[in-house]
Amino acid sequence: MLDGTEARHLGSLSHDPVIDQEMMREASPCSLWERVLGSVAQRYLCADDLCMQQTQWKTIEQVIQRLREMAVVEIVFSDDINTRNPDLVPCTPVMWRKLARLGPQEYSSALAIMKRDETEETVLDMAKKL
């Protein structure tokens, strides 16, 4: 648990002065993770404003990393305050299609087949399938 003074001593964590300032402003003690999520939510009004890395992935590790990054965006802009673990976020068909588009052509159809329906599988469930 960190208060604002302790967060200030950490210095710049985000390389974005607005996010860093917001992280230091919160006076009540909370975890670093909660500070980061709250600060990003204050900085960006909606998910469309937050630019995500759009480079092509080449390894399974990169696929899982991109999936978790998308899950963090879902957490930041979600009304559900109970979900704070990216692995437990439901993997939506939209997230999965973005992954398939960013991958090598030979893997795109295989990824599309893995997530064809609207089942409530989490990011962790899909990472295990990979």
| Single-letter code of the amino acid located at 11 | G
Same domain, 20 and 76: no
pTM metric for this prediction: 0.77
Q: Please give, one letter per residue, the 3-state secondary structure of 49-92.
A: HCCCCCCCCCCHHHHHHHHHHHHHHHHHCCCCCCCCCHHHCECC
Residues of the chain with pLDDT under 70: 4, 7, 27, 53, 81, 115-118
pLDDT score for 10: 74
Q: Which residues pair with 30 in a beta bridge?
A: 2
Same domain, 54 and 106: yes
The answer to whether residues 53 and 66 touch, using CB atoms and an 8 Å cutoff, is: yes
pLDDT tens, residue by residue, 51-70: 776 778 888 899 899 999 89
pLDDT score for 49: 75
Which residues span the domain enclosing 34?
Answer: 4-43
pLDDT score for 55: 79
Same domain, 30 and 69: no
Same domain, 108 and 94: yes
pLDDT score for 87: 92
Same domain, 58 and 30: no
pLDDT score for 124: 92
Same domain, 35 and 80: no
Same domain, 20 and 66: no
- For the chain, how many structural domains are there in total? 2
